[in-house]
């Protein structure tokens, strides 16, 4: 099968969406399919075309940026050729260009499948309000032209103003999650570098430093946690400097974080590669996902943590709460409630045995090969129709 995957940002860009797309594309290749990823050349230093882990990556030149998106005038021309050459088209939303790609699928009689990752909610402002309206319009057009829409959980779909309109097209497929195998020496070296043996318990957060991720909720919860555990520390994995559109948020929170840094209670790790992430999780006693709005639909990092036996505390957002609800490895905190976050973290730290789950079953359920097989069935069914 020739599969065309279309999304705005692909590797080396790092986000939950790009990681999902990369894992799925590699799994398709390993199952014997021919995969092309069509994306944008958001960084002019990236090659226009290359092979990555058996996946053909084609990047379309960008003319300029628009908020968190990009404008690539030749995207449609390239899409026309590629859609015609492939058997099925899979698009990752949010994506400005998705309607045109989905329409080409209709014209060439190629099944078009949308994978909807989350809502797009930009910060307040007249221009961002306009961008939000445009993206919503584009998403709806893409949904009309597509044959099927994939979402992670029914919980998120039922609470999404977008997905709830297209229940007749919905299919739930869990996201692909994997981490490279590493040895105990790598885990111990990571622990030593981050002073984990001297600072316990360790609370992890893996995210971009962005307002919707709820970093300030963890900051507000820390005094209560430190009262019970004076040696506790936070390890923050993810981009935190010069995050697009988040400078004001960063500047507002940094004075408080610097104080915790000076006391050994907070450490920024920056972006970690897969091997480093695999060493990161085993050193945690808890992982928090205090996200604040529907731009977070699941929280893949929760599954990565659970695979390593780490308990999680997500906020009660639709979709985000589901990993803990499905697997029982943690406790759900109220949205935007620092007291609830602190209480939940303390509960799992005090009685971790109450929240143990079946790690092997979780690994199997989210294995990229398992997820690719689900997509295969979907694609084959649509092609027969």
pLDDT band at 289 (very low <50, low <70, confident <90, very high): very high
Strands annotated E in the chain: 2-6, 34-41, 49-52, 55-61, 64-66, 69-71, 88-93, 112-116, 148-151, 170-172, 202-206, 233-237, 266-270, 286-289, 311-314
| Average per-residue pLDDT for the chain | 93
Q: Which two tokens stand for residue 160?
A: 């999404």
C-alpha 220: how far from chain center = 24
**Among 330, 383, 326, 327, residue whose Cα is nearest residue 355:** 330
Domain architecture of the chain: domains with CATH: 2-176+367-384 (3.40.50.2000), 184-364 (3.40.50.2000)
Residue 48, beta-bridge partner list:
none
pLDDT of residue 127: 67
DSSP 3-state of 311 = strand
CA 234 to chain centre: 21
pLDDT grade for 70, boundaries at 50, 70 and 90? confident
d(CA 24, CA 369): 8
Of 199, 175, 170, the residue nearest 323 (C-alpha): 175
What is the pLDDT confidence band of residue 68, given thresholds at 50, 70 and 90?
A: low
C-alpha span between 375 and 139 (Å, rounded): 21
What is the dihedral angle through the alpha carbons of 56, 57, 60, 61, rounded to the nearest 10 degrees? -130
Distance CA 116, CA 51 (A): 26
Go through 55-89 and write b for each residue having 16 or more CB atoms within 10 A of its CB, e for each that does not.
Answer: bbbbbbebeeeebbbbebeebeebbeebbeebebb
Residue 16, pLDDT above cutoff 90: no
The total number of residues shown for the chain amounts to 385
- The candidate with the shortest Cα–Cα distance to 342, out of 200, 204, 223, is 223
Statement: residue 122 has pLDDT above 70: no
Percentage of residues in the chain having pLDDT higher than 90: 78
Q: Which two tokens stand for residue 131?
A: 């961008």
| pLDDT at residue number 136 | 83
pLDDT score recorded for residue 385: 81
How does DSSP assign 55-70, residue by residue? EEEEEEE--EEETTEE
């Amino acid at each position: 099968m020739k599969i065309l995957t279309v999304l705005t940002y692909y590797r080396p860009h790092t986000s939950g969406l790009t990681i999902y797309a990369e894992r799925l594309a590699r799994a398709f290749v390993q199952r014997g399919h021919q995969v092309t990823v069509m994306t944008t050349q958001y960084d002019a230093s990236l090659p226009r075309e290359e092979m990555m882990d058996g996946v053909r990556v084609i990047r379309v030149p960008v003319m300029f940026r628009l908020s968190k998106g990009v404008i690539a005038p030749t995207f449609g021309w390239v899409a026309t050729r590629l859609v015609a050459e492939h058997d099925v088209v899979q698009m990752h939303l949010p994506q400005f260009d998705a309607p045109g790609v989905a329409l080409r699928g209709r014209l060439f009689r190629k099944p078009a499948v949308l994978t909807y990752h989350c809502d797009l909610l930009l910060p307040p402002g007249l221009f961002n309000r306009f961008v939000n309206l445009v993206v919503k319009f584009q998403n709806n057009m893409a949904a009309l032209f597509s044959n099927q829409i994939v979402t992670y959980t029914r919980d998120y779909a039922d609470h999404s103003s977008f997905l709830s309109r297209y229940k007749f097209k919905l299919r739930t497929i869990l996201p692909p999650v994997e981490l490279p195998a590493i040895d105990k020496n790598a885990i111990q070296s990571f622990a030593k570098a981050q002073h984990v043996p001297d600072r316990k318990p360790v609370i992890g957060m893996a995210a971009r430093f962005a307002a919707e991720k709820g970093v300030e909720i963890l900051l507000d919860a820390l005094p209560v946690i430190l009262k019970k555990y004076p040696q506790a520390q936070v390890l923050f994995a993810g981009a935190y400097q010069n995050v697009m559109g988040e400078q004001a948020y960063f500047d507002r929170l940094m004075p408080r974080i610097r104080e915790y840094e000076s006391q050994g209670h907070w450490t920024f790790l920056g972006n970690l590669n897969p091997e480093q992430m695999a060493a990161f999780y085993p050193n945690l006693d808890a992982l928090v996902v205090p996200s604040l709005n529907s731009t977070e639909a699941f929280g893949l990092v929760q599954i990565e943590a659970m695979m390593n036996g780490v308990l999680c505390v997500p906020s009660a957002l639709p979709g985000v709460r589901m990993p803990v609800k499905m697997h029982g490895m943690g406790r759900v905190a109220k949205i935007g409630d620092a007291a609830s976050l602190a209480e939940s973290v303390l509960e799992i730290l005090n009685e971790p045995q109450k929240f143990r789950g079946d790690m092997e079953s979780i690994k199997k359920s989210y294995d990229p090969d398992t997820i690719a097989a689900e997509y295969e069935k979907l694609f084959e069914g649509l092609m027969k129709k």
